[in-house]
């Protein structure tokens, strides 16, 4: 008999359902996990009512490595339609098949797949940490009458997962971050998670943005320009939501001339060995 749990929308929901299935000894081959991005099902949810009832605790505790739980929280944010099936297959192998060292077996197909998904999500989280840009919106209900809002388009559903980082970093601000899937909001006391938004939900520009652009121009060092390295860390797909991106093309085009001017002001002949040493000192 095929069991079709209700499509989980979060790690917490998947964990509850997976624990039920493990207690019932439902092997991965007998469970059909639906993606939370798909609608409808090819099978009736035969056991779905079981998940709304309180469960009795298992006679024997199910022990799962903490490392797996940490990785699973990352993978749960991925857009892969097979993530829930993969997670359950892994947890079954760890708990039921007694493979405690499964996560260290990098040649195992499931392990490679799991770690690959987690790596993609962590990279996406890193980009969100780096490329969220706030704008100021007048809001009488916010502290000091201002709310900082931002729009970001992540590859995966990571907004709620990244929220603690922004709460810690911007504790003293009232802010909201919108993504296509979900939004997160902080008022200084509570963190709220809500539906996604659209770029049009944000103001197009504010005074603070002009200060930021002026600052970015002032700290731009033409001697440090490495276009390939910059685009590796800041892919062009993020540029449309970065106010400083409008300056990058002009600043990089001017970089060669500005570098020559810096060398001339230092009284060094361009092309001389000393000019190369000077450039290296500027890049530090």
Over 80: is that where the pLDDT of 228 sits? no
Number of separate helices (H) and strands (E) present in the chain: 9, 5
pLDDT confidence of residue 218: 54
Over 50: is that where the pLDDT of 23 sits? yes
**What percentage of the chain reaches a pLDDT higher than 90?**
43
pTM: 0.70
Q: Output the six-digit token pair for 36.
A: 């939370």
Question: Collapsing DSSP states into helix, strand and coil, what is residue 25?
Answer: coil
Q: Tell me: the pLDDT tens digits for 34-67?
A: 876 433 332 233 333 343 444 455 455 678 889 9
Over 70: is that where the pLDDT of 160 sits? yes
> Residue 78's pLDDT band (boundaries 50, 70, 90)?
very high
Contact yes or no for 243/203 (Cβ under 8 A): no
pLDDT confidence of residue 278: 42
Q: Sketch the domain layout of the chain as residue ranges.
A: 11-125, 132-201, 207-283
Q: Tell me: the pLDDT tens digits for 170-209?
A: 998 899 999 999 999 999 999 999 999 888 777 665 555 5
Strand partners, 3: 31
Residue whose tokens read 């993504």? 179
User: Which segments within the chain are labelled E, that is strand?
Assistant: 135-138, 146-151, 175-178, 182-186, 191-195
């Amino acid at each position: 008999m095929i069991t079709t749990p209700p499509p989980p929308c979060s790690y917490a929901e998947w964990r509850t359902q997976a624990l039920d299935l493990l207690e019932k000894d439902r092997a991965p081959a007998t469970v059909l996990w639906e993606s939370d991005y798909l609608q409808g099902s090819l099978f009736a949810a035969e056991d779905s009512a079981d998940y709304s009832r309180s469960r009795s605790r298992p006679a024997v505790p199910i022990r799962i490595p903490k490392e797996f739980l940490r990785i699973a929280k990352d993978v749960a944010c991925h857009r892969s339609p097979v993530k829930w099936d993969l997670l359950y297959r892994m947890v079954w192998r760890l708990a039921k098949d007694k493979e405690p060292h499964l996560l260290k077996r990098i040649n195992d197909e499931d392990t490679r797949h799991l770690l690959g998904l987690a790596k993609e999500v962590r990279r996406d989280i890193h980009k969100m940490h780096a490329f969220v840009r706030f704008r100021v919106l007048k809001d009488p209900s916010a502290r000091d009458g201002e709310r900082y809002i931002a729009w970001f388009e992540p590859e995966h559903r990571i907004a709620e997962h990244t929220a603690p980082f922004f709460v810690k970093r911007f504790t003293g601000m009232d802010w909201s971050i919108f993504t296509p899937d979900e939004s997160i909001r902080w008022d200084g006391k509570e963190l709220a998670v809500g539906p996604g938004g659209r770029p049009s939900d944000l103001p197009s520009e504010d005074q603070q943005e002009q200060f930021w652009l002026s600052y970015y121009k002032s700290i731009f060092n033409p001697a440090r320009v490495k276009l390939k390295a910059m685009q590796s860390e800041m892919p062009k797909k993020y540029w449309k939501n970065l106010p400083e991106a409008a300056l990058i093309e002009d600043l990089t085009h001017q970089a060669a001339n500005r570098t020559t001017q810096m060398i001339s002001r230092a009284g060094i002949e361009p092309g001389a060995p000393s000019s190369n040493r000077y450039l290296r000192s500027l890049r530090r």
